[in-house]
Amino acid sequence: MTGAAGPGRPVLVACAHGTRSPTGRRLVAELALAARARRPGLVTTAAFVDVQPPTVVDVVAGLAAEGRAAVVVPLLLSGGYHVHVDIAGAVAGAEGTVAARPLGPDPRLVEVLHERLVQSGADPRDPLTAVVLAAAGSSDPRSVADVEDTADLLQRSWAGPVTTGYGSAAQPAVPDAVTAARRGGAERVVVASYLLAPGHFHDKLARAGADAVTAPLLPDDRVADVLLDRYDAAVAAGDQG
């Protein structure tokens, strides 16, 4: 793919959901910069599927018009509508451009989740401390399956029950999942924020009725490592193709 669309490595298009949160915007921008710092010479640019410009459609079209190969890496934690429709549609007609898989599920993200829980004061050895893994939510069953897989990975290092809850579109809603955990016998319920950065969904978690809510995944260098791995895998697949 690199030879057909210009010299050098493909441009890494870091495609996030988009947020109105200034902190969220800064952390996502810093994630792309961290990837660039780890890979000298790598060209990165940002794109979004909602809320803020530039759109992934415009970014991909612009690079294709310049004859530049690109890999769109979804800065998303599961494969829902934005991955399978928005991003897939943006790259479909752009020669030399491919989409990578989303960041999650990935064991390194689970490591960050575990650390955030410990930082919140939760004890992974306490069977009466339940965790609700809180994701943004999607009506796409593939996205729900990805979140469930992440919860299963987290359960391996957590004595108490780990369940899932969603901010929208999927069930159960996070407050309902917290209530169910208490009814199930948990003495303490902690919401693990399975979100990259602060924003609308993270703000809602404070009202979910849990004893504590963890910080989002960013900032953490391991997320940049996952981002680069997704890019490398897509480049390798394109070269083989």
Residue 234's nearest CA partner among 89, 95, 72 is: 72
Q: Where are the domains of the chain?
A: 3-103+220-240, 107-213
Is the pLDDT reported for residue 4 higher than 80? no
Q: How confident is the model at residue 2 (pLDDT cuts 50, 70, 90)?
A: very low
Instruction: Tell me what pLDDT residue 231 has.
Output: 98
Handedness of CA 61, 67, 71, 73 (dihedral sign): negative
- Collapse the DSSP code of 216 into the 3-class scheme (helix H, G, I; strand E, B; otherwise coil) and give the result: coil
Q: How confident is the model at residue 51 (pLDDT cuts 50, 70, 90)?
A: confident
- What is the residue-averaged pLDDT of the chain? 93
Topology of the domain comprising 3-103+220-240: Rossmann fold (3.40.50)
Strand order in the sheet with 188-193: 162-166, 129-135, 188-193, 212-213
Interatomic CA distance for residues 136 and 200, integer angstroms: 9
Average pLDDT over residues 151-155: 98
107-213 placed in CATH 3.40.50.1400: yes
Residue 102: is the preceding peptide bond cis (ω within 30°)? no
Residues 173-220 have pLDDT tens digits of 999 999 999 999 999 999 999 999 999 899 999 999 999 999 999 999
Q: Give the DSSP H/E element, type plus range, for residue 136.
A: none
Interatomic CA distance for residues 38 and 6, integer angstroms: 23
Q: Which two tokens stand for residue 115?
A: 């650390």
Contact 133, 163 (CB under 8 A): yes
Instruction: Tell me what pLDDT residue 3 has.
Output: 33
Percent of the chain that is helix, strand, coil (3-state, to 5) = 45, 15, 40
Q: Do domains 3-103+220-240 and 107-213 have the same CATH topology?
A: yes
Q: How confident is the model at residue 240 (pLDDT cuts 50, 70, 90)?
A: low
In 10 A of CB 122, how many CB atoms?
Answer: 22
Interatomic CA distance for residues 192 and 179, integer angstroms: 15
